[in-house]
Amino acid sequence: MTVSFFVVLLLSVIRLSTPMFIAGLGNMYCERVGILNLGAEGMMVSGAFAAVLGSYYTGNPWIGVFCGMVGGLVAGALHALICVEFGGLHAISGLGITMLFNGVTKFLCLSIFGSTFTPNVAALQTTKILQGVPVLGKYLGALSPLVYLGGLIAVISYFVIFRTPYGLRVQMVGDDPRTVETAGINVWKMRYSGVLICGLLCGIAGAYMSLGQLDRFFEGMIAGKGMLAVIAVKMGKWEPKGILGTALLLGFFDAVQLQLQINGIIGIPPEMLQLLPYVAGIAVLSLQTGATRLAALDTQYLRNKYKF
Amino acid sequence: MVYAVEMRGITKRFPAVLANDHIDIAIKAGTVHAIIGENGAGKSTLMNILYGLHKPDEGEILINGQKQAFGSATDAIDCGIGMVHQHFMLVPRLTVADNVVLGKEPRKGLLYDRKAAIAKVAEVCSRHNIQVDPAKKVADISLGMQQRVEIVKTLYRGAEIIILDEPTAVLTPQEIDDLGEILRQLKEGGKTIIIITHKLEEVMDFSDDISVLRGGKHIATLRKAETDIPELTRLMVGRDVQLGGRKESAPGKEEALRLTDIVYAAAGRQILKSISLVLHKGEVLGLAGIDGSGQTQLAEIVAGVLTPSGGSVVYHSRDITGKTVAQRKKEGIGFIAQDRQKHGLVMDFSIAENLVLGFQRRPEYCQYKIAVNSKAVISDAQKRIREYDIRTPGEQVRVSMLSGGNQQKVVVAREMGSRPQLIVADQPTRGVDVGAIEAIHNILINHRNKGGSVLLVSLELDELMMLSDRIAVFFDGRLMGILDSATATREQIGMMMVGSSLEGKEGPAS
């Protein structure tokens, strides 16, 4: 229980929170254009499985990550089609996508590999080039390059949302699509873009879980991380900084839970301990009152529906 | 001469409605042109066509003599047309500058240049002499300011023709004056301004030319100097209008309502400070005051929506202070709430359903004690739609589809339908057209003539003076005095509304 313990804990927190904040950033785009996304989990599952497939067939994990992005994008496109194009109910569509991709990936996994586990594939668990860094190299190199990619995405997202014209429009669509339309901006394009970016980022988050943390895909491996990402977005008030902080907090509880399990310090059943991050999420969310809300979140916007 | 806008033979059909029927309107450049008509006369449709939000079925539009076909609002904006919608198109969370530049953001490389946005908006404001702080959040500025932001938004986009849809509906009298000043300056700057409205006083204040629409048809275009309000009203409604109803008898002497030392505080602020007054049978008591002086709260206390912090409400010699709204309804108190869309109606319900709301437990609407007797509800609704002249295709239409005046008639029909003794009416004619105002005035006065009592809150002094027998004037939660409306003057009331009390007349008169 010395310095090394804390370093291990810190690395563990970073590793565990990465998928939540990458998916959370994706969800931020999605919710900011007014589309609720309970399908983040499904998009991550799709991304995780597609990434493993890509790596399995090409032997190159980066191609795997690319495939993961495509996998997330496919799920995102489906959500966009239902919610943006046809004005479907967001919550139903999202939950449907989560169930659909849990099922589809299991089906494909069984039919390709004959098992609910895939074989081990080339992965991205460590960052070789950072291992040469003096003193910290040992720790920096022990993290997946996708962790750094995630950090980069957070910084870029901050600039995109708060410093670009596109970001200004994204902020407005989430509050009042009619205003945006009367300013001569295509609301549908904005909404599509937000949902598709979300699919893409959730795909990366899924790829991180299958190739960055592990080197394979198995059924149920996302284990609610997508749902925690949805919570992280609300707790983080739709801002990259807040989402990052919340994801780290949830990751911390996850890491503590894992440590307690591994060390077997107290005689609590592991299932109880696994509840920890989720309970923490619910607790923080319920303490947060009067949070700012996006006025147009979870609404339908269909052309010609409104009388101006 | 070349007109800024010429619309020829514009026809627009909606399912079951001919909204615009071969309308020809020409608007001279550099003038303020008002388009007036009752709710549903087709003025908004016509302007939405001009702004590219609707496509006309027939007809053509010429801008500065050039024929144009607008596919979307963007086309109209590119042609120099700007529109200020009745419900502002602003995002409260963001700053004035952000809202103004949306869609045409200044850039620095890939990034949005917020400093340039603020500078540009400030420049537009100073060029047209409009006072707005571009760095403030929209949520932090008043409605009058927000409207200026909307005007600045059109100017930023280079609008030469600015359409304002019911611009004064949400403004205070002072803000209306300021708006008039802004419009005058814009006109001097060469802009063409089109105002859609049904308020005739401001038409006479603001405009040079006036076009009247009725039932989707263009009735007349007049110069302001050559017309007056009675003529415009006649053209708008299609007949002579008698506002205010006719009082047939003197008010009664019997007490209907007695308020004693009513105190109301909310959020640590004293909103009503010891109010005592009496309302008789067969009397209309008007409550005057600047918006927010406490008169609305007093009305809501009588209706039972608010519970007073102190004092008593006695109705027909029974203390009803602690009674609920439902109990008061049974006792015969009807309430016309100020915000009909929020508190008066369920917008997604049909007219028939709204007409029984609050009375659904009455035996005539019930079946086997628990179920609603829909046949009775529907036949009753049909009867009342005829009786109160609610203009609708049928009783199953959702109230959200009705115009403001007809929505208000639904509220009035419901509250009157229970044959109340006391009507509490909080701004019953707010935002409704003159035809509906006339109808509502007649209903209230008839109620009074039959011996009923009315507690009337209104921000329109003319309305109060026409309808009331006595006027109680409020200032900052205090009752400044009660005047007899037959002898009171506008100046007297106006002085008391801003806090100078009347010598010798202060306190409850009875």
Token readout for A145 is 């390059």
- Cα–Cα distance list, A72 to A49, A63, A161, B319, B449 (Å): 10, 14, 21, 67, 72
What is the DSSP pairing of strand B32-36 with strand B192-197? parallel
Amino acid at A138: K
Q: Name the CA radius of gyration of chain A, rounded.
A: 20
Under a CB-based contact definition with an 8 Å cutoff, are residues A211 and A52 in contact?
yes
- In this model, does residue A48 exceed pLDDT 70? yes
Is residue A299, in this structure, part of any structural domain at all?
A: no
Alpha helices, DSSP H, located in B110-168? 114-127, 143-156
Task: Please report, for residues A34, A40, A174, the alpha-carbon distance to residue A84 in angstroms, rounded to integers and kept in the order given.
Answer: 9, 16, 13
> Could you give the C-alpha distances from B386 to A194, B39, B393, B397, B448, in angstroms and in order?
50, 19, 12, 15, 22
Instruction: Write out the residue limits of the CATH 3.40.50.300 domain(s) in chain B.
Output: 1-80+160-241, 254-332+420-510
Other CB atoms within 10 A of residue A26 CB: 34
Predicted pLDDT at B202: 81
**Contact residues on chain B for A296, CB-CB shorter than 8 A:** none
Report, as an integer, the average pLDDT of A273-280: 80
> Pairing between strand B284-288 and B453-457?
parallel
Cβ contact (<8 Å) for B105 and A168? Answer: yes
Count of domains forming chain A: 1
Determine the Cα–Cα distance for residues B427 and B424; give it in Å rounded to an integer: 10
For testing contact with chain A, the best of B91, B99, B401 (most A CBs within 10 A): B91
% pLDDT > 70, chain A: 95
Q: Which residues of chain B are modeled with pLDDT < 50?
A: 504-510
Please work out, in degrees rounded to the nearest 5, the angle formed at the alpha carbon of residue B172 by the alpha carbons of A293 and B402.
65
Tell me whether residues B110 and A164 touch, CB distance under 8 A.
Answer: yes
In chain B, % helix, strand, coil (3-state, to 5) comes to 35, 30, 35
Instruction: Summarize the confidence of residues A90-112 as an average pLDDT.
Output: 95
Q: Which of A43-57, A79-93, B201-215, B340-354 has the highest mean pLDDT?
A: A43-57
Residue A293 lies in a domain: no
- Is B73's CB within 8 Å of A163's CB? no
Picking from B278, B274, B321, B331, the residue whose alpha carbon sits closest to that of residue B301 is B321
Q: What is the DSSP string of B343-371?
A: II--TTSBHHHHHHTT-TTSGGGEETTTE
Q: What residues of A are in contact with residue B103 (Cβ under 8 Å)?
A: 169, 180, 183-185
pLDDT of residue B374: 83
What pLDDT is attached to residue A269? 78
Other beta carbons less than 10 A from residue B255's beta carbon: 17
Comparing CB atoms, the residue among B92, B93, B105 nearest residue A165 is: B105
Question: Does residue A268 fall inside a structural domain?
Answer: no
Q: Is pTM beyond 0.90 here?
A: no
Query: What is the span of the domain harbouring residue A84?
Result: 11-222
The string over A99-118, giving b where at least 16 C-beta atoms fall within 10 Å of a residue's C-beta and e elsewhere, is ebbbebbbeebeeebeeeeb
Using a CB-CB cut-off of 8 Å, the residues of chain B touching A176 are 89-91
Q: How far apart are CA B377 and CA B364, in angstroms?
A: 9
Domain B254-332+420-510 class, CATH top level: alpha beta
* Rounded CA separation B322/B300 (Å): 13
Q: What is the mean pLDDT of residues A172-176?
A: 90
Q: Which residue of B has its CA nearest to A158?
A: B111
Q: List the single residue in B with minimal CA-CA distance to A174.
A: B91
Determine the Cα–Cα distance for residues A103 and A109; give it in Å rounded to an integer: 10
Q: Does residue A156 register a pLDDT over 60?
A: yes
How far is B384 from chain A, CA to nearest CA, in Å? Answer: 28
pLDDT exceeds 90 at position A3: no
**A214-225 average pLDDT score:** 92
- pLDDT digits over B224-262, tens only? 989 988 888 888 888 777 776 777 778 888 899 999 999
- pLDDT the model gives residue B72: 81
Q: Does A206 map to a domain?
A: yes
Give the residue numbers in A contacting B (CB under 8 Å), as ranges: 159, 163-165, 167-169, 171-172, 175-176, 178-185, 292, 308
| Interface touch B73/A165, C-beta < 8 Å | no
Residue of chain B with shortest Cα separation from A295? B91
Please compute the mean of the pLDDT values over residues A255-265 and round it to a whole number: 77
Q: What is the mean pLDDT of chain A?
A: 89
List, in sequence order, every beta strand (DSSP E) within B255-317. 255-266, 269-280, 284-288, 310-315
pLDDT at A258: 81
Residue in chain A closest to B89 (alpha carbons) equals A179
Residue closest to B236 by CA, chosen among B436, B33, B435: B435
**Residue B325 burial (CB < 10 Å; 0-12/13-18/19+)?**
middle
CA dihedral A128, A130, A136, A141 (to 10 degrees): -40
Cβ contacts of residue B482 below 8 Å, gap of 6+?
B277, B470, B471, B472, B473, B505, B508, B509
Token pair belonging to B262: 């009513």
Count interface pairs A-B at CB distance under 8 A: 62
| pLDDT tier at A214, thresholds 50, 70, 90 | very high
Position A305 confidence tier, pLDDT thresholds 50, 70, 90: very low
Nearest CA in chain A to B84: A182
- How far is it, in rounded angstroms, from Cα B68 to Cα B75? 9
Residues contacting B362, CB < 8 A, separation 6+: B356
Return the higher-pLDDT residue of A45 and B405. A45
In a 10 Å sphere around its CB, with 0-12 CB exposed, 13-18 middle and 19+ buried, how is residue B502 labelled? middle
Q: What is the pLDDT of residue A113?
A: 94
Which CATH code, of 3.40.50.300, 3.90.1710.10, 1.20.1300.10, 3.40.190.10, is assigned to B1-80+160-241? 3.40.50.300
